[in-house]
Homo-oligomer: A and B are copies of this chain.
Amino acid sequence: MAIEAVVFDAYGTLFDVQSVATLTEEAFPGQGGLITQIWRMKQLEYSWLRSMMGEYEDFWSVTRAALGYTLGALGLAADAVLLERIAHSYNTLSPYPDAGACLAALGGRRAAILSNGSPAMLAALVAHAGFADLIPEVLSIDAARAYKPDPRAYALVEARLGVPPARVLFVTSNGFDVAGAKRFGFTVARIERQAPAALAAELAAGPVGPATMYRALRTRVEAIGAPPDFTIAALAELPSLLSGREWA
């Protein structure tokens, strides 16, 4: 089966959510790492819980609410201006170092983003990274008002690109997204930036701090569905995965 489109998750896949730590640490010295992990954990939880409750709000709202929760848990005060400024760091995330080169080497296939981010967040993110020419099609789940892994989110790919699921290679580092995309019918390439043995060793060695806990909770294949079709250690490996297969 020919792959006609390569569709990327954004947060955690093309863009490093950990890069908000610069600003969280600047705003709250000594607490930046902890804020970064709790914030990201709650941001996704809120997208899931709002979906289950039938109370959709866009990812900018969810991102700010998760940050508010996080600062509240830590007993930190932030006025609306500071909260907004910190939240805005999700719009200026650093791309992974190999993201641009990967996008430039997809062999002429259509490239798109399918992300939880709101249209405005994704526009800012892509512009900030200078990726507008590399990945012209940016799909926000906001059009479906359903977050990943709800199948209505993944259905946007065919609706917008006209490419059926069987001809899509979906690329993500997020376990819930692997499960949702596989179930939906995409071929899935998972980015595994930390080898399982390395994570296990880190957990065994201890002490297990927030960043390790985050990786233990959110960067592995989930036990809720089919495994990914391919696992690669970095975006840099994607072009050779694409060119080295029969489908190429």
Contact = CB atoms under 8 A, between A and B. Distances in A.
A110 interface: no
Given A183-B55, A216-B38, A217-B42, A50 B200 contact: no
Interface in A50-108: 50-55, 65-66, 68-69, 72-75
A34 B65 contact: no
Interface in A133-152: 147, 149-151
Interface residues of A, number: 52
Given A48-B48, A52-B149, A74 B204 contact: yes
Contacts of A53: 149-151, 179-180, 183, 224-225
Given A34-B208, A55-B183, A225-B53, A73 B220 contact: yes
A156 interface: no
A222 B49 contact: yes
A23 interface: no
Given A38-B216, A48-B48, A200-B74, A55 B224 contact: yes
A209 interface: yes
A203 B48 contact: no
Contacts of A45: 45, 48, 176, 217
Interface in A190-248: 196-197, 199-201, 203-204, 206-210, 213, 216-217, 220, 222-225
Contacts of A179: 49, 53
A15 interface: no
A41 to B, nearest CB: 6
